[in-house]
């Protein structure tokens, strides 16, 4: 597959990281990433930091946020008309151009894509890439239970979605926005059920391979099979409670019933969803999220952190370009600048690719090999690093 974007559309706490890990093991490139892990995601989040940052800043421009469960397709359309997203579009376009200069695939995973797919669609089209949407759906009751367990460790951050009802309302909002995105697509999206991914990952893997019409080598298939840790399926068979919980459960069951041989389109879903969508619209109009100053303050703090990450990514891109543009005998300062950034930020994983390129081009091949091996030691598939290491070692890829 050439110049392909695999776009994972899935709700928070619905297994997007597990699915991305499986696809990454299958050989699809994540691009640059922060090696971010946590107790609930011990294998990592598999998110490109700049994609996440662009999504968060764009939602801010739209006077919304990832946790805003009052956002409807109509409200989003109105706010898009008055929002200036040109600079973010340019930033995202540059990211895609830079990535596809060295890779033929990009795996995009960010739960915010459920409400931001409209932003990226024209950019993917301008980059002349094939986009394959893969939807992962999990029971809203299980998502809510997972979120409540997560929020107990940091309730001041999660605010209104620290409760099951708030999370169920957000589940409805994001899946409704996702359906609006699907209405613009000619190609149906592959639908993966979270329960099947976690209990029968081989079946899910076979469906993905068949859908994408790829023939991965046996090593990658084994790695993808091993990527799913079934012990992480902690919140199972949760009960439904509350008005939002009941609507979300009806929504979930209708979505499941709308997928024809694991393929979902807006046209196939909406007839079966007519009743639940009517209920949902009424509830969104009547019940607005309560003001949550602590939650807003926490999000502003996170926005600042994402802005710092975006600045670092821009710097990294500039250094990477310099490493390819500066004569080899003048690369010493470039290497020194990268090492200074690593020391100053503590984000070593973010800069390793550029460091390897600069070291290799300046003749410091032993050090370059060491850096590439460090990248591969993370346990994630990185075709770019494998290719560079093979090139330095004069070994076939």
Tell me, yes or no, if the two domains 4-290 and 295-393 fold the same way: no
Phi and psi, residue 28, nearest 5°: -85, 135
pLDDT number for residue 315: 63
pLDDT at 134: 96
pLDDT at 308 (0 to 100): 57
Give the pLDDT of residue 209. Answer: 95
Q: What percent of the chain has pLDDT over 70?
A: 82
pTM greater than 0.85 (yes/no):
no
**Confidence at residue 381, expressed as pLDDT on a 0 to 100 scale:** 65
Give the model's pLDDT for residue 293.
43
| Four-way CATH pick for 295-393: 3.30.70, 1.25.40, 3.40.190, 3.30.450 | 1.25.40
Looking at domain 4-290, which of 1.20.950, 1.10.10, 3.40.50, 1.20.120 is its CATH number? 3.40.50
pLDDT at 397: 41
pLDDT at 117: 95
Pairing of strands 105-109, 189-193: unpaired
Domain ranges (residues) in the chain: 4-290, 295-393
> Could you tell me the two tokens for 268?
């196939």
Query: What stretches in the chain show pLDDT beneath 70?
Result: 1, 32-42, 155-156, 285-326, 341, 344-347, 349-350, 378-381, 395-397
DSSP 286-337: H-PPPP-HHHHHHHHHHHHHHHHHHHHHHHHHHHHHHHHHS-GGG-HHHHHH
User: pLDDT tens digits, residue range 201-223?
Assistant: 999 999 999 999 999 999 999 99
The strands making up 105-109's β-sheet, listed across from edge to edge, are: 105-109, 4-10, 130-137, 189-193, 263-264
How confident is the model at residue 344, as a pLDDT?
Answer: 64
Burial class (CB in 10 A: 0-12, 13-18, 19+), 340: exposed
The SS3 assignment for 136 reads strand
Helix, strand and coil in the chain, % to nearest 5: 65, 5, 30
User: Given this model, what pLDDT does residue 390 score?
Assistant: 85
Q: Which stretch of DSSP H or E encloses residue 109?
A: strand 105-109
């Amino acid at each position: 597959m050439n110049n392909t974007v695999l776009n994972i559309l899935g709700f928070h706490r619905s297994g997007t990281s597990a699915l991305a890990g499986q696809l990454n093991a299958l050989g699809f490139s994540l691009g640059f990433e922060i090696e971010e892990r946590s107790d609930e995601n011990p294998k990592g989040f598999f998110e490109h930091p700049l994609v996440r940052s662009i999504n968060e800043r764009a939602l801010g421009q739209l006077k919304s946020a990832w946790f805003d469960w009052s956002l409807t397709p109509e409200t989003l359309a109105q706010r898009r008309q008055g929002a200036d997203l040109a600079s973010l579009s340019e930033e995202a376009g540059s990211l895609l151009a830079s990535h596809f200069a060295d890779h033929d695939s990009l795996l995009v995973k960010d739960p915010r894509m459920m409400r931001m797919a409209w932003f990226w669609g024209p950019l993917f089209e301008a980059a002349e890439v094939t986009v394959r949407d893969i939807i992962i759906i999990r029971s809203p009751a299980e998502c809510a239970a997972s979120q409540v367990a997560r929020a107990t460790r940091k309730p001041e951050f999660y605010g209104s979605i620290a409760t099951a009802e708030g999370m169920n309302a957000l589940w409805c909002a994001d899946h409704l926005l996702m359906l609006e995105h699907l209405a613009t697509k000619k190609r149906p999206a592959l639908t993966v059920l979270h329960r099947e991914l976690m209990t029968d990952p081989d079946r899910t893997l076979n469906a993905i391979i068949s859908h994408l019409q790829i023939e991965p080598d046996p090593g990658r298939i084994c790695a993808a099979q091993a990527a799913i840790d079934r012990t992480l399926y902690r919140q199972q068979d949760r009960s439904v409670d509350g008005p939002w919980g009941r609507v979300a459960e009806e929504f979930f069951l209708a979505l499941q019933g709308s997928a024809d041989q694991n393929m979902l389109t807006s046209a196939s879903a909406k007839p079966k969803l007519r009743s639940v969508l009517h209920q949902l619209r009424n509830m969104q109009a009547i019940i607005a999220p309560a003001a949550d100053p602590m939650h807003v303050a926490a999000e502003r703090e996170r926005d600042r952190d994402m802005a710092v990450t975006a600045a670092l990514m821009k710097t990294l891109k500039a250094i990477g370009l310099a490493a390819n543009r500066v004569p080899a005998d003048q690369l010493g300062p470039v290497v020194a600048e990268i090492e200074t950034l690593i020391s100053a930020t503590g984000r070593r994983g973010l800069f390793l690719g550029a460091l390897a390129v600069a070291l290799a081009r300046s003749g410091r091949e032993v050090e370059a090999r060491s850096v590439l091996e460090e990248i591969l030691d993370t346990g994630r598939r990185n075709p770019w690093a494998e290719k560079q290491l093979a090139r330095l070692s004069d070994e076939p890829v």
